[in-house]
Every structure is written in structure tokens, then in C-alpha cells.
Structure 1
């Protein structure tokens, strides 16, 4: 039996990508003791350059943290950091808290909560939204569910990382359910924005003019306003990649199958993101889904060196 002692004054953040790095930095700047964790040397160096300390494996957090945020990409990575060879689940002290922030299927979140409870650990199902900029500012939206004990232990962390914390239920699963609805809408809106812009370009409309008109009209959406400038600038540096929506819309599809519930609009958007990924754009910004239309119709999209349009 591993002897485990909680250190609730220290917070571990596993996954120092765009969201995790920003969150870890916000927690650090709020005065919490934070240890970042990532297998990438450059990710760890980025956090250390901001004054943080970091480790390479989840196991190294176990004796030092009583609260651990898991800010990774998918359920496979969640499994690895919690139950893999260097995982945390059998190393954290009883009563420690796992704050699960990845977008996963609600059924997986519910099952994970039961597995962690069986090992004496608390879990907050807490997917996050807001992007890298709001993560860095400590202004995320958190769609959460869990026990009173989990919320009590998480409160200083949530206060430092989030502008809004939605408390959606008393057990894991509800937080991930609401996040899935958000991702359905986000993916559909990005795909619709790309299709609309591509049609406009195909009809000969100046893309900057089209953006200006739509953002002042009823057809606007937050995603149209936020993502179309990437297209206008010809800049597909990934802030959120095409492959993220391949994953998330597949989770929507999976959950629909589990519930025998049709999701035809989300399914159509999934096909567009899958086509973009298959064409080699999976690691580009999710606005690159418009390149599917470029491949199909030969439309001329703004190039990076044309670059001044859109704000």
C-alpha cells in the first residue's frame, strides 16, 4: 500500500497546452501554489518562464498536490494520466480532488466519477470554455457538477480560474452534458460560418465587406464574428484545431447513439470537419474547414500576405 498524504495547499495542472498553460498561470498569479505537468519540454519551459514549476509525469504530482486539474484533450489522455503506468488515481491521498476539464462523453464522466469514488477520491466534472485568452486571464466559464465536498475543496481554484462557474448537478455527468451541447453549437456555427463565407466568395462578394455586413445583421453568431477574421487574414495558426471538432462532434454523435436521439445538423458539421482533417488540415485552426469548399469549387481565399482584412 502506498502511503499518501494530502497537500491541499498545492494544485497540480496536467496538460500545459493553450488552455492548461493559461489556467496554470492564472492560478499561480492568484497566489496559489501550482505545479504544472506535461510530457513536452517546451510546454514545461513555457510555464517555468512565467515563474511556475513543473514535472514531466502525473506520478510526480501525487505526493505534493491535494487538487489536480486534468486539462487534456480527450478521454484516452484522461485514462492515461489517471490510470496509466505513471497515473495518479492510486497515488493521490484519499480525499484528494480531481477536477476533470477535458471534453468527454457524459457517460464517460459519470463512470469516471464512480471509479474515482471507489478509490477514495473526489471528482468535479468541470469542462471549461472561453479559449486561451480567457484561461490566461482567469475568466473561463466552467460547466460543472459534483458533490458538496468536491466544490468545497475546489473553491479557491475555481475562484482563481473562472469568471463564471455553473453548478449543474451533484454528480459527474451533468457538467459534461452541458459542455457537449455547447460544442454541438460551436461546431455547427463554425461550419455554417465557413459555408456562408465560401458561398459569398463564390458569388463574387468581397469577403471583408461580407464580414462587415453579416456582423451587423441577424445572421451573425459569436463564432462567425470570432472565426471569420482568421479566414480574412489567411491565418490558420491553431487556436482551436479542426481535429478538436472532429473529436467533439464525434462525441455528440456517440451520445446521440447512446440515447437513440438524432443529431442530423451536428452530423453534417462533423462530415465537413472530417473532410477538412482528411484533406490535411486537421492541425490547422478550425476556421480551415472553409478549405473544403476551396478544394471543391476552386474559390480564392485570402492569403496570409494579403492580410489586413477582418478584426
Structure 2
């Protein structure tokens, strides 16, 4: 018997799929989900009753585990990814360990819930389309993904203030340290680190003439973008995000809001340099209509002396 897959019915199926203590069916006549016990308590109506109730998609604990593996393997933030992978290696109690790892990262936990619901909805849509094929009906499509927007709802973006300087200094120092490591060799004691290459275009200034910060719903400092002007050109001096918030689209969101908020009558161009170890961010810049301008190279003179 045909039935309409309403949003309410999808939600009921989602809830029931994870309850592995009972068998669940769609009552095609009422458009609801019922248990096997509820069906067995009804008077038998032969073939008509068999057609009325259709089993919902099967969802085993192994399906849930594979979903967790996919989520962890595809997560961009290496710190969180490692925590999730370690949780999945726990063996017994793996589901609890995974949940505990998520609890330490509120934003990531919401991303997991969104990912999980989206993937389970796909299972439901595939199951329902299989039924529609049997009924001779056209297939229905999947809903567009909105995960990124859901995550960013947990962050606030605002103009930087002088009171943000301490957190900004901490983040900037961390990023310079990462840059030095990426450039492969710390300098001798008392000498500037390779990350100081990035400081040659001017001293660290925060907040700049145009600056935004991102913070969590709890008020924790997540990242910033800051720029100074040369005439009608804005030079982005820093676009940095704390490691625990990377992979959530914060950098891209900061850049988008920055370019949208600047006074177009005052500035006509924005420039930004990208360290080589984050070259992948160039894809974000291209999406935001930036164009390549130049490539910067460096050499440690000590290296040339040894050849």
C-alpha cells in the first residue's frame, strides 16, 4: 500500500532505526511507525494486513560504527580526528568512548549529529525510492546539505576590540610557531625563527584598521582576520584559527564576512599572502573571487654555504 513520506514520518523512522530492542513497521494506512507487538495485538486481516505494514530500513550497531569511522576519517581537524580515531580503537565501550570524545568539542558534536542524521536520511530515501519503483512512481531526490551553516550558527563574528589583544597574541604566536616548523628548521638560539619571514611586510598589528574575530557561543576566542591599508588597498596581515576549531569553516567564514563588511567606497582591493603549508586554502580564496598575484620564495643562506 502506498504512503507519503512526510517529514514527521522521517523523524519517527530515524528515531526507531536506532532502537534495536524491537522491530518497527510503517503503518501505511495511518502514516505512522508501529512496533511488531502493536501489530500482533490487532485482529488479523490476511493479505490486506501484510500489505498495510512495511518494515523500516534496518540499522544495526555495525552500521553506526561504520558511520563513526567515516566521520572520523573525513574530519579535517587533525587534533579532533586523532581523538575520534583513538576512541574507535577502544574495542569494548567504543560507542561511549566516541560520545565522550565528542562531548569535549561542542561544535564537533553538532557536526556529528548533522552528519549522522543526513546519512541516515539518505538510507531512508533510498529505501523509500525502492518502494516507489515497485509502485511505478518517480523517485524523489535528496535534500541539500546545510551542515556548514548549522555549525557556524554556534559561532559569533564581530569587530575586533583592543581587549581581544591578549587572545590574538596567543593565537598569532602559535601560528608563527607552526609556520616555523613547516619551514622545516628552527634557527639557532637568539636568532629569529623562520616564521618571522611572514613579519617582513610589517609589524604584528592587532586590531588592524579592519578586523573581525570569531568566538564560540560560550565566548571562547576561535580566530581572527586583521588587515591594514595602503591607500585604497587592504592587506590582510593575519587570518588565523585556533587548532581545535579548524576544519569547521571558520577561516572561510571570517574571510567572507570581512570582504562583505569593508567599505567598498574606501577600498577597492584586498591582498592576502598564504603560507605554503596551508596552500589548500587557495581553493577558498578562488571561491571568494580572489585571483593569484605572485609567489614568494625563500632560502636559508646557511643551506647554500654547505653546498
TM-score of the two chains, using structure 2 as the length reference? 0.23
Where is the helix percentage greater, Structure 1 or Structure 2?
1
Q: Which has the higher contact order (CA 8 A, sep 6+)?
A: 1
Higher Rg = 2
TM-score of the two chains, using structure 1 as the length reference? 0.23
